[in-house]
Amino acid sequence: GQNIDQPTEMTATEGAIVQINCTYQTSGFNGLFWYQQHAGEAPTFLSYNVLDGLEEKGRFSSFLSRSKGYSYLLLKELQMKDSASYLCASMDSNYQLIWGAGTKLIIKP
Amino acid sequence: ETGVTQTPRHLVMGMTNKKSLKCEQHLGHNAMYWYKQSAKKPLELMFVYSLEERVENNSVPSRFSPECPNSSHLFLHLHTLQPEDSALYLCASSQDGSSGANVLTFGAGSRLTVL
């Protein structure tokens, strides 16, 4: 079957680093997406990985290992505004997205 | 503003009511989507339209009826809903519906409560 797993909730401290993991089982894998969703707002696109490795975009980086069915989102120099839910989604051979339930990230001062 | 606008933002309705959710995108995208988001659950894809043709209907109950009159507008017509249909309904659009790196742009959602 097709499945996405990510932690339900994580807590981190302002200024620190946090890594949000996502594991997937997807037939005909076509890439892995990360979205950010603040409470009451639209999910917004953060990253897309289809090849193995790390992609960096400012304070946010996303990593993919296709052989392990594993991705993570790394957030550095955490700010209070990073408190949000982070949604992981894999794309299958039909270009359909399989979504995780999201990780709620709580940032404490 | 993301370029995808949903109205109303909040809706309370009884089980016998008929209401509609509206979505409009100003991005020139060719594909539009309806998703259901319930607390602590993955996003559930309901319907996909590509170039105004419905290409996906994920076994959604007939009490939900989509309409796509043109590539910029998408409606979700609701009738005789059940309390378990209470959720956040998200509209999204993308450049097309069948390619890799198919980035979705979401609206802020319509929060539906069924009494």
Q: How confident is the model at residue B110 (pLDDT cuts 50, 70, 90)?
A: very high
Q: Which residue of A has its CA nearest to B102?
A: A95
Separation in Å, CA of A76 to nearest CA in chain B: 24
CB contact under 8 Å between B102 and A4, yes or no, is no
Checking if the pLDDT of B101 tops 80, the result is no
Separation in Å, CA of B102 to nearest CA in chain A: 8
CB contact under 8 Å between B106 and A44, yes or no, is yes
Residue in A31, A43, A100 nearest the CB of B106: A43
Separation in Å, CA of A84 to nearest CA in chain B: 13
Tell me the CA distances in angstroms from A25 to A22, A66, B19, B62, one per residue in order: 10, 10, 38, 31
Residue in A8, A31, A42 nearest the CB of B108: A42
Checking if the pLDDT of B98 tops 80, the result is no
- Residue whose tokens read 């109205």: B7
Question: Residues 6 or more apart from A46 whose CB is under 8 A from it?
Answer: A33, A34, A35, A36, A57, A60, A62, A73, A86
Measured between beta carbons, which residues in chain A are less than 8 angstroms from residue B104? 35, 43, 45, 97
> How far is Cα B26 from Cα B4, in angstroms, rounded to an integer?
7
Residue in A43, A95, A102 nearest the CB of B98: A95
Question: Residues 6 or more apart from B79 whose CB is under 8 A from it?
Answer: B17, B18, B19, B63, B65
- Single-letter amino acid code for the residue at B40: K
Task: List residues bridging with B23 in a β-sheet.
Answer: B6, B74
Checking if the pLDDT of B10 tops 70, the result is yes
Report percent pLDDT > 90 for chain B.
78
A48 touches chain B (CB under 8 A): yes
Q: Under a CB-based contact definition with an 8 Å cutoff, are residues A32 and A91 in contact?
A: yes
- Single-letter amino acid code for the residue at B75: F
Residue in B41, B56, B103 nearest the CB of A48: B103
Per-residue tens of pLDDT for chain A, all 109 residues: 678 999 999 999 999 999 999 999 998 999 999 999 999 899 999 999 999 999 999 999 999 999 999 999 999 999 999 999 999 999 998 888 999 999 999 999 9
Question: Residues 6 or more apart from B77 whose CB is under 8 A from it?
Answer: B18, B19, B20, B64, B65, B66, B67
